[in-house]
Chains A and B, each alone.
Chain A
Amino acid sequence: MRTVRLTVYRFDPTSDERPRYASYEVPYRSGMTVLDSLLYVKEKLDHTLAIRYSCRMGICGSCGMTVNGLPRLACYTQVKEVGWRIKVEPLKNHPLVRDLVTDFTDFFRKYKSMRPWLIRTDAEEQENPTKQYTQSDAELERYIQFSYCISCGLCYAACPVVTALPEFPGPQALASLYRFLADTRDHGRRERLRIVDEAVGLWRCHFAGSCSQVCPKGVDPALAIQLLRREAMRG
């Protein structure tokens, strides 16, 4: 039977002095994902391994990790796709909790600071609408791609600017801001632009494009950032 050799990053900051890599041999079965192979390790070989996952189908965005050097969703990555020797490490740019689990507190704080919801100035109308609110296909096209984000944080882990400048909001937060700015139902244009038009904001993106390379949902945050810059220039 074919086996997969997993090399897994292990570190518990509360008890270990330094990180180490543990190796495991996992029997391969057709259709096996990296998450499946890690769950095999956890169930059969070493139950102390810490991993985070939920949906197992690329929807919840909680199983992000570095697989053979690239940020990926473990449940979305076929073993066959990455090879029989797989190195699994935690996501970069997110503080480590334990083993393959990282802390998303800062990531979500930045996301929330973008006010990722529709801002309306007509509270009364929202409570008691007097008409139907429609959007044309063209209006929907402006933001639909950016609304596919599942907040998995892979783009954030791949962003070299976040590595160098931890205050930088990151691709996910900026793309989510653009998603609402481009929505014709939103009234928060000025407020949103003010949030990112800062010394360490929108303009610090170097357009490396690695965020768009690793996004499993085809969101293309690098494009969103360029479009956001155009909007910021227009004022």
Chain B
Amino acid sequence: MRERNVMLVHYVSGIGILVFGAVHLFTVFFTKPLGETIWETTMLFEGHQFAVLEVYRNALLATSLWFLLLFTTIHALNGLRVIITELFPVPVVRTASKYVLFALGVFLMVYGTRTIIIAHMIG
């Protein structure tokens, strides 16, 4: 993949984090989309051990969380790649780091998606 495309994805994912991060914060802090009771059980943990799971019940919110996970993973891992590129001017380290970071990204996405789906189903 050309560096131009990688950086385009990097910038778009940065904007994505802003948008979906804002949606996430907005829904959690400024609105009560799931009703007063759920808001309270989610945020205040009044004796509900898994109260936070209520957020995942709403399919739209769960999907927005998935996008937040996707954009954060892409942006953070590409940021790490850039840092490694600049810190270690050794081709073998750079190539190895690319594969390691890609594998880490796949792991984070698979594990995160699985968590969101499970939370949605039992939320």
Contact = CB atoms under 8 A, between A and B. Distances in A.
Interface of A: 161, 164-167, 193, 197-204, 232-233, 235
B47 interface: no
Sorted nearest first, the 4 A-B pairs with minimum C-beta distance are A197-B4, A203-B7, A232-B4, A165-B86
Contact of B85 (A193, A199, A232, A235): A199
Contact of A197 (B2, B82, B89, B94): B2
Nearest to A164: B86
Interface of B: 2-4, 7-8, 82, 85-87, 89, 94
B2 A166 contact: no
A203 B2 CA distance: 11
A199 B89 CA distance: 11
A93 to B, nearest CB: 14
Contact of A198 (B3, B8, B82, B89): B3
B4 A235 contact: yes
30 contacts: A161-B86, A164-B86, A164-B87, A165-B85, A165-B86, A165-B89, A166-B89, A167-B89, A193-B4, A197-B2, A197-B3, A197-B4, A198-B3, A199-B3, A199-B85, A199-B94, A200-B85, A200-B89, A201-B3, A202-B3, A203-B3, A203-B4, A203-B7, A204-B82, A204-B85, A204-B86, A232-B4, A233-B4, A233-B8, A235-B4
A161 B98 CA distance: 21
Contacts of B8: 233
Nearest to B8: A233
A106 to B, nearest CB: 13
Contacts of A197: 2-4
B92 to A, nearest CB: 14
Nearest to A193: B4
A178 to B, nearest CB: 15
Given A198-B3, A232-B4, 15 more contacts: A164-B87, A165-B86, A193-B4, A197-B2, A197-B3, A199-B85, A199-B94, A200-B85, A201-B3, A203-B3, A203-B4, A204-B82, A204-B85, A233-B4, A235-B4
A32 B86 CA distance: 42
A200 B82 CA distance: 9
Contacts of B85: 165, 199-200, 204
Contacts of B82: 204
Nearest to B87: A164
A198 B91 CA distance: 13
Contacts of B89: 165-167, 200
Contacts of A199: 3, 85, 94
Contacts of B3: 197-199, 201-203
